[in-house]
């Protein structure tokens, strides 16, 4: 059986032969296309896509592949026809405005974003087109407008960092080094390295210098967003098509590596990271360590994280990364010390989420007396952050520490993020611990409905049912939680509740 091939490449080769023998078989063509995307065989992906197109059975994502092919060949008419079909079919039509703008750039026709009626006013199309705007403008060599658009999109997270670097690289290529430096302010290691390259008069890698790389960059952004939403298979599809379109772009290669790791292709992910420019050293290290950890190769991940933290130029991110790896290994005391060093290096500018990690590690290590003020500092630094409010509030519940204040913190978090199953669970649990099971049950039921795979939420609901005298409902909830539970200790505790009810709570 073709699907029984041990190697992805071997499977792709088998499907390639099968497709050659039966080019009109849409089932073989579909499997060949999917195998080509998974294994990274661009030639087979294109062959299979064209075969499916001839039979009017082209998948939506394959339209993006053929659009990129038309763009790279300079066939603007074919590219626009493919976008028409993308819009007609729906699904990925939100990409069409930005892709049309890149086609206009390629054809040297109407300036991108020239007419207001062409621009989507809201929705995903508007979001992605807005992010592409500085790149589109700089592709037209509209330097000042492009720089202004880039500054308006500046974000402190990793997504914002990659966009800043791409825009700065394009400005350097246009011999606008001073303007590039305007985007490279800050103390992030990658930004410092980029700034040093620009100040030394050296080229900056990663420029989005035309429609092909622009299109690939857009598809890689979609892949990154899907990774955050746990869309593993779809993220790999977008990342593969992006890498087929611009295989030398390092930002796209990093996204591909993350998508591969999320799909269990760890060794291939690590291989993709080889040869990426030294500028991205810190980002590459993050991806390597994360990929190894996801594959349960924890000792390898720990070795890399420890080596980075021991470097003479180690910064707060290196120590925070080490803390994360140690936490994953349940070495909470060591993790707390790594976070402590990260906060020391941050001086008075430690971000709230770093303090949250530090406080959480201290708490897990059994040091609540030190953990609580650290968590309170995190909330003081970010009083409108639901994650910080909920973390402190729930920790206080767990320690029986001022349940009224804990409930207030969690209620505020819930008001800020009412759709969070975790926060809704915390609020329901707060009412339960305060002896109000009837008030807790609707909240816990809502949390279970939002996330039925979280064992702790189902267990909480069972406890609340029991306290309200609903014994049958309680055992049903616990049995559902038992199915989702992981460790033997959790299973034993839930099994005991099913048999005997929960232990009596201390007053």
pLDDT in tens, 268-296: 999 999 989 999 999 999 999 999 999 99
pLDDT at 6: 47
Tokens of 461: 């609901």
Q: Which of 94-108, 295-309, 424-438 has the lowest mean pLDDT?
A: 94-108
Record the pTM: 0.83
Domain map of the chain by residue range?
400-507
Tokens of 105: 């750039």
- What percent helix, strand, coil does the chain show, rounded to 5? 75, 0, 25
Model confidence over 91-117: pLDDT tens digits? Answer: 888 999 999 999 999 888 766 554 434
pLDDT at 7: 59
Would you say residue 29 has pLDDT above 60? yes
pLDDT at 188: 83
- 228 C-beta neighbours (distance < 10 Å), count: 9
Dihedral angle sign, alpha carbons of residues 95, 100, 105, 111 = negative
Average pLDDT over residues 66-95: 91
The secondary structure of 99-158 as a DSSP string is HHHHHHHHHT-SPTT-SGGGS--SHHHHHHHHHHHHHHHHHTT-HHHHHHHHHHT--SSH
pLDDT confidence tier of residue 4, bands split at 50, 70 and 90: very low
Tokens of 54: 């001839």
Average pLDDT over residues 216-224: 95
Would you say residue 471 has pLDDT above 70? yes
Model confidence over 131-153: pLDDT tens digits? Answer: 999 999 999 999 999 999 999 88
- Domain 400-507: CATH superfamily, name plus number: Tetratricopeptide repeat domain (1.25.40.10)
Q: What is the mean pLDDT of the chain?
A: 91
Dihedral angle sign, alpha carbons of residues 226, 227, 233, 239 = positive
CA gap 63, 92 in Å, rounded: 10
3-class SS string, 209-237 = CCHHHHHHHHHHHHHHHHHHCCCHHHHHH
pLDDT at 504: 79
373 by DSSP, 3-state: which?
helix
Contact 252, 239 (CB under 8 A): yes
Contact 164, 150 (CB under 8 A): yes
Would you say residue 436 has pLDDT above 90? yes
Contact 372, 401 (CB under 8 A): yes
Cα-based angle 370, 374, 378 (whole degrees, multiple of 5): 165
pLDDT at 387: 97
297 by DSSP, 3-state: which?
coil
């Amino acid at each position: 059986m073709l699907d029984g091939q041990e190697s992805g490449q071997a499977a792709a080769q088998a499907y390639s032969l099968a497709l050659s023998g039966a080019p009109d078989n849409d089932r073989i063509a579909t499997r060949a296309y999917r195998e080509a995307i998974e294994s990274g065989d661009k030639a087979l992906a294109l062959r299979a896509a064209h075969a499916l197109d001839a039979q009017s059975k082209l998948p939506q994502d394959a339209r993006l592949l053929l659009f990129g092919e038309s763009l790279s060949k300079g066939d603007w008419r074919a590219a626009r026809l493919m976008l028409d079909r993308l819009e007609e079919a729906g699904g990925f039509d939100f990409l069409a405005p930005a892709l049309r703008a890149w086609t206009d750039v390629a054809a040297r026709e109407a300036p991108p974003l020239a007419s207001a009626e062409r621009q989507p006013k809201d929705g995903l199309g508007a979001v992605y087109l807005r992010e592409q705007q500085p790149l589109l403008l700089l592709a037209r060599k509209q330097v000042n407008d492009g720089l202004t658009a880039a500054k308006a999109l500046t974000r402190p997270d990793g997504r914002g960092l990659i966009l800043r670097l791409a825009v700065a690289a394009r400005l350097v290529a246009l011999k606008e080094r001073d303007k590039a430096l305007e985007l490279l302010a800050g103390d992030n290691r990658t930004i410092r390295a980029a700034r040093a390259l620009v100040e030394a008069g050296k080229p900056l890698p990663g420029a989005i210098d035309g429609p092909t790389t622009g299109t690939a960059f857009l598809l890689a952004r979609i892949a990154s967003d899907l990774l955050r939403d746990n869309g593993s298979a779809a993220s790999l599809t977008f990342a593969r098509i992006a890498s087929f379109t611009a295989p030398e772009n390092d930002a796209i290669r990093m996204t591909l590596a993350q998508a591969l790791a999320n799909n269990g292709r760890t060794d291939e992910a690590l291989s993709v990271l080889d040869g990426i420019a030294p500028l991205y050293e810190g980002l590459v290290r993050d991806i390597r360590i994360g990929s190894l950890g996801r594959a349960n190769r924890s000792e390898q991940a720990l070795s890399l994280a420890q080596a980075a933290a021991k470097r003479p130029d180690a910064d707060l991110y290196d120590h925070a990364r080490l803390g994360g790896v140690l936490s994953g290994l349940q070495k909470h005391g060591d993790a707390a010390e790594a976070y402590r060093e990260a906060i020391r290096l941050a001086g008075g500018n430690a971000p709230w989420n770093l303090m949250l990690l530090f406080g959480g590690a201290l708490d897990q290590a059994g040091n609540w007396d030190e953990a609580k003020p650290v968590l309170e500092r995190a909330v003081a630094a970010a009083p409108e952050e639901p994650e910080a409010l909920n973390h402190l509030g729930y920790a206080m519940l767990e320690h029986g520490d001022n349940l009224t204040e804990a409930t207030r913190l969690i209620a505020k978090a819930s008001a800020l993020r009412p759709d969070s199953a975790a926060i809704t669970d915390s609020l329901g649990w707060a009412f339960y611990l305060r002896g109000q099971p009837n008030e807790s049950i609707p909240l816990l039921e809502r949390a279970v409905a939002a996330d039925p795979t979280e064992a702790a939420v189902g267990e909480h609901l069972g406890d609340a049912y029991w306290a309200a005298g609903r014994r049958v409902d309680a055992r049903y909830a616990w049995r559902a939680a038992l199915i989702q539970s992981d460790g033997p200790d959790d299973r034993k505790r839930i099994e005991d509740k099913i048999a005997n009810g929960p232990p009596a709570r201390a007053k």
